[in-house]
């Protein structure tokens, strides 16, 4: 029988991402797939994942008047045709690499600060990973609005959170300081783009790396935990 007292502490993975970042959803799925590959190891790493807020376009209105390509063209200073090509390329990568069927034709661009507040509320109730997944799927796959409180409350309820409590905290900006703290920590770490993964507070992994990269780092860091336990 193994000695429980000598079990290593879990690997801590902190993920900075934005609900409206297409690479963040790909990165989330790649992380999950990479960790799934080590779950069958005889000495499978134990992992704790926490998502942190990052706003790529904090000046985006709640209701953007235009298509996904229109938004990208304005934001990047490129033509609508170039923006459409970029969306098509990302959609292809999402489908081929992560099994995600993006629908940029349905996408409703919006400000994501309230969605981030909701993930902090979900964290308090042990459902942050589920809430993050639900928001990203709603935004990229289903074309649902993720910036209005009414819509966010519906999504919160879908993952088992209390609707009235969710509405209350969103109405009162209760978790806005937590969002700002995440953003301040990102600046302190020098994070300028997402997704960004911080492993045990000391290793940084930037971008939507392939699943194999996360598999490798999980095994490496778990071996370090084993050596220190």
> Does residue 6 carry a pLDDT above 90?
no
Instruction: Determine the average pLDDT of the residues in 58-85.
Output: 96
> Does residue 128 carry a pLDDT above 60?
yes
Cα separation of 148 and 84, whole Å? 26
The whole-number pLDDT of residue 5 equals 53
Contact 43, 226 (CB under 8 A): yes
* 183-193 pLDDT tens trace: 999 999 999 99
Contact 53, 135 (CB under 8 A): no
Contact 37, 45 (CB under 8 A): no
Cα separation of 114 and 82, whole Å? 30
Instruction: Determine the average pLDDT of the residues in 62-68.
Output: 96
DSSP 8-state assignment for residue 88: H
Q: E strands of 122-169, at which residues?
A: none
DSSP 15-51: EEE-TT-HHHHHHHHHHHHHHHHHTTSTTPPPEEEEE
Instruction: Determine the average pLDDT of the residues in 197-204.
Output: 96
Contact 139, 146 (CB under 8 A): yes
Residue 58 structure tokens: 């904090």
pLDDT band, very low/low/confident/very high, at 73 (cuts 50, 70, 90):
very high
Q: In this prediction, what percent of the chain has a pLDDT beyond 90?
A: 96
Instruction: Determine the average pLDDT of the residues in 190-207.
Output: 96
Residue 215 structure tokens: 């598999």
Selection from 207, 199, 131, 121 nearest residue 164 by Cα: 121
Please give, one letter per residue, the 3-state secondary structure of 127-166: CHHHHHHHHHHHHHCCCCCCCCHHHHHHHHHHCCCCHHHH
DSSP 72-84: HHHHHT--HHHHH
Cα separation of 117 and 129, whole Å? 14
> Does residue 2 carry a pLDDT above 50?
no
Residue 79 structure tokens: 């033509």
Structural domains for the chain: 4-228 (3.40.30.10)
Q: What are phi and psi of 14, to 5 degrees?
A: -105, 125
**Residues contacting residue 70 through CB under 8 Å, at least 6 positions apart:** 80, 83
pLDDT band, very low/low/confident/very high, at 229 (cuts 50, 70, 90):
confident
Instruction: Determine the average pLDDT of the residues in 4-28.
Output: 92
Instruction: Determine the average pLDDT of the residues in 86-99.
Output: 98
Between 90 and 228, the more confident residue is: 90
């Amino acid at each position: 029988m193994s000695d429980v007292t000598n079990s290593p502490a879990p690997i801590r993975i902190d993920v900075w991402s934005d609900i409206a970042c297409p690479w963040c959803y790909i990165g989330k799925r790649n992380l999950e797939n990479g960790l799934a590959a080590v779950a069958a190891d005889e000495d499978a790493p134990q992992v704790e994942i926490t998502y942190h807020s990052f706003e790529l376009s904090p000046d985006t209105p709640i209701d953007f008047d235009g298509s996904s390509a229109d938004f990208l063209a304005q934001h990047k200073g490129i033509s609508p045709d170039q923006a459409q090509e970029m969306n098509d390329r990302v959609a292809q990568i999402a489908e081929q690499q992560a099994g995600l069927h993006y629908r940029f034709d349905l996408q409703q661009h919006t400000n994501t600060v309230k969605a981030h507040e909701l993930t902090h509320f979900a964290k308090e109730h042990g459902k942050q990973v589920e809430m993050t997944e639900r928001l990203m799927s709603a935004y990229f796959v289903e074309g649902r609005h993720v910036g209005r409180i009414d819509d966010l409350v519906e999504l919160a309820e879908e993952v088992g959170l209390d609707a009235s409590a969710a509405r209350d905290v969103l109405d009162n900006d209760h978790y806005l300081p937590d969002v700002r703290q995440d953003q301040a920590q990102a600046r302190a770490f020098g994070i300028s783009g997402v997704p960004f993964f911080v492993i045990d507070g000391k290793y940084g992994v930037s971008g939507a790396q392939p699943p194999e990269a996360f598999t490798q780092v999980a095994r490496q860091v778990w071996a370090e935990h084993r050596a220190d336990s």
